[in-house]
């Protein structure tokens, strides 16, 4: 058992070095430099649609026109009842993971003026979200940490299923599979088809 953990640690370290090294080389190639700032608080989430950025600044959802990246212009700021942990955009909808409260859905068909259309209570802190057509994957650090939410009717989201995957992490879709990283040592790959059954 000890040798397997050691091997896993070596593999993770090797992957980390490759990823960081690759990112460092890309950063040098693209000559990254700061061209502007606008945040004055903790920002844990951001997503962009067209030339509009949506980011969480503490409990605020902030909408910024980034058509001129050197001079971002704040268009509006909406106070939410809790910290904005994650943000994801799908078509004309913005999904916000609101710390220990749950999921908030905004209509962003008027990009500079989001309209709150629904809320779905989900317990647990530090949520990450991932919309996939009519399903939204919502992972928290609570028991039954992965929620599948039906968002086919964004005005009335509904829980389809819950899965206990342990501590919260990041998620990604790869074809027909959901990849979830719960902590540095746990990785889960689940068939999307099996999750939806």
Name the CA dihedral angle for 192, 7, 144, 43, rounded to a multiple of 10 degrees: -90
Instruction: Note the pLDDT tens digit of each residue in 9-51.
Output: 555 555 555 555 555 555 555 555 665 555 556 788 899 998 9
- Where on the phi/psi map is residue 144: left (φ > 0), alpha (ψ -120 to 50), or beta? left
Containing 182, the helix (H) or strand (E) segment is: strand 177-183
**Which pTM does this prediction carry?**
0.75
pLDDT of residue 12: 54
* Structural domain boundaries in the chain: 1-33, 35-165
Domain 35-165 class, CATH top level: mainly beta
Instruction: Note the pLDDT tens digit of each residue in 119-167.
Output: 999 887 777 888 999 999 888 876 667 889 999 999 999 999 888 766 6
- Where on the phi/psi map is residue 99: left (φ > 0), alpha (ψ -120 to 50), or beta? left
């Amino acid at each position: 058992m000890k040798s397997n953990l050691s091997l896993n640690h070596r593999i993770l370290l090797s992957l980390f070095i490759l990823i960081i090294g690759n990112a460092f080389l890309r950063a040098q190639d693209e000559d990254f430099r700061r061209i502007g700032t606008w945040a004055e608080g903790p920002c844990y989430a951001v997503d962009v649609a067209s030339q509009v950025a949506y980011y969480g600044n503490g409990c605020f959802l902030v909408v910024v026109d980034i058509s001129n990246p050197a001079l971002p212009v704040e268009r509006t700021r909406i106070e939410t009842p809790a910290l904005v942990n994650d943000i994801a955009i799908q078509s004309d909808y913005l999904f916000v993971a609101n710390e220990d409260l749950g999921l908030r859905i905004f209509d962003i068909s008027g990009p500079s003026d989001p309209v709150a259309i629904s809320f779905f209570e989900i317990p647990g802190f530090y949520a990450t979200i991932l919309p996939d057509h009519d399903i939204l994957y919502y992972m928290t650090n609570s028991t039954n940490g992965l929620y599948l939410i039906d968002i086919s009717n964004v005005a009335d989201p509904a829980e389809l299923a819950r899965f206990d995957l342990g501590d919260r992490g990041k998620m990604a879709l790869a074809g027909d599979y959901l990849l979830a990283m719960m902590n540095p040592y746990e990785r889960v790959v689940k068939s999307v088809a099996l999750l939806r059954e």
